[in-house]
Amino acid sequence: MILKGSQRAGAKQLSAHLLNDRDNDHVAVLELEGFIAEDLHGALREAEAVSKATRCKQYLFSLSLNPPKDAIVGEEDFQRAADQAGKVLGLEGQPRAIIIHEKEGRRHAHVVWSRIDADTLTAINLPHFKNRLTSLSKELYLEHGWALPNGLRSHGGKSFLNFTLDEWQQAKRLDLDPREIKGILRDAWDRSDSLRGFGNALEERGYFIAKGDRRGFVALDVQGNVFAVPKWLGLKSKEVQSKLGSPDKSPSVSEVKQELKGKVTDKLKSFIQQTKDRHIQEALPLERENHALRDQHRAERERLRLKQDERAVVEAKTRSDRLRKGLLGLLDRVTGKARAIRE
């Protein structure tokens, strides 16, 4: 189920919206739990009244639960999903209401919790609730065996060979849920009516058909992991071969692995070049800064050299003047003594 939630106020407006039978063929209040009131209007106004003892403005948490278009979902499924959502959000045990809407034979549900803890009169904090609901949505799809929408598939359902460098690095840190692998194979199987169609559908998701060691069909991912097609589809080998034909026309596992090795190597080479190019681009500002500093240092050194030359000239002139004065003084003294001797 796709789960979308929000913190909000407006008890009167929300209850009127949830009970609106103009836009829905059928509306039913499935559950009112933890409230004194026996109707939805009264229950949500009750949550509003309790919130008055706090500073909390958005005292309700409203969640919509939307199953896939063709899925048949019972009331127990909605209640179980509401229980799981309450647990991951930290709202377990809080007063809640569950409302079922049905339109044109398709059902969806809404769950509303009070965020106010009546014992402590504080609002329950809901950190990262969007990420938590996204994770739970995927878990519910896998749990029911529904085909994952692209938004919930690992890396958007892309083949590893079409990843960007950042996506590739992220993928190496994540493990793929086996149920998702089974869903990928099942989705490709349902979309195809021949070996060629099945192979093309799998390649879109990064899996490749081969003939297994036991002369049956297998699928390989880009890391070389082998998945027996009948086993992962829950079918007998004869059923698979009746649709796909004989596996003898398909390449062997070793041949596919060798081909994948080349594709992955080419992909990694492109990532290496991308990394080099990115490093060059990232280094350009540093290189310009380095050149600017070098020019600045050269100018400073030239100014220092000129000042040192000027100082050397001044000091040389000062020494010369002192020497000249010393010699003149000495000459005066010698001349004076000579005069005195003559006299």
User: Tell me: the pLDDT tens digits for 230-246?
Assistant: 988 889 999 999 999 99
Domain co-membership, 105 together with 213: no
Distance from C-alpha of 279 to C-alpha of 11, rounded to nearest angstrom: 55
Domain co-membership, 94 together with 180: no
Domain co-membership, 183 together with 283: yes
Number of domains in the chain: 2
The CATH number of whichever domain residue 11 belongs to comes to 3.30.930.30
Rounded to 10°, the helix 129-144/178-191 angle is: 60
Domain co-membership, 98 together with 22: yes
| Pairing status of strand 217-221 against strand 226-228 | antiparallel
Domain co-membership, 75 together with 31: yes
Domain co-membership, 122 together with 172: no
Tell me how far apart the 2 most distant CA atoms of the chain are, in Å: 146
Of 122, 146, 170, the residue at which a domain comes to its end is: 146
Tell me, yes or no, whether 319 lies in a domain: no
Tell me, yes or no, whether 217 lies in a domain: yes
Tell me, yes or no, whether 323 lies in a domain: no
Distance from C-alpha of 116 to C-alpha of 126, rounded to nearest angstrom: 12
Domain co-membership, 14 together with 111: yes
Tell me, yes or no, whether 335 lies in a domain: no
Domain co-membership, 58 together with 106: yes
Low-confidence winner among 22-36, 53-67, 258-272, 319-333 (lowest mean pLDDT): 258-272
In order, the DSSP letters of 144-179 are HTPPPPTTTSGGGG--GGG--HHHHHHHHT-PPPHH
Quote the percentage of the chain above a pLDDT of 70: 87
Domain co-membership, 221 together with 99: no
Tell me, yes or no, whether 87 lies in a domain: yes
| Pairing status of strand 26-33 against strand 217-221 | unpaired
**228: part of which helix (H) or strand (E)?**
strand 226-228
Residue 30: give the domain boundaries.
2-146
Domain co-membership, 142 together with 179: no
State residue 167's pLDDT score.
45
Tell me, yes or no, whether 195 lies in a domain: yes
Q: What is the pLDDT of residues 313-342, one digit of tens each?
A: 888 888 888 888 888 877 877 787 777 777
Of 76, 111, 146, the residue at which a domain comes to its end is: 146
pLDDT band (50, 70, 90) for residue 170: very low
Tell me, yes or no, whether 39 lies in a domain: yes
Domain co-membership, 261 together with 185: yes
Tell me, yes or no, whether 339 lies in a domain: no
Under a CB-based contact definition with an 8 Å cutoff, are residues 26 and 5 in contact?
no
**Mean of the pLDDT values across residues 292-311?**
88
Of 146, 174, 199, the residue at which a domain comes to its end is: 146
Domain co-membership, 112 together with 198: no
State residue 155's pLDDT score.
55
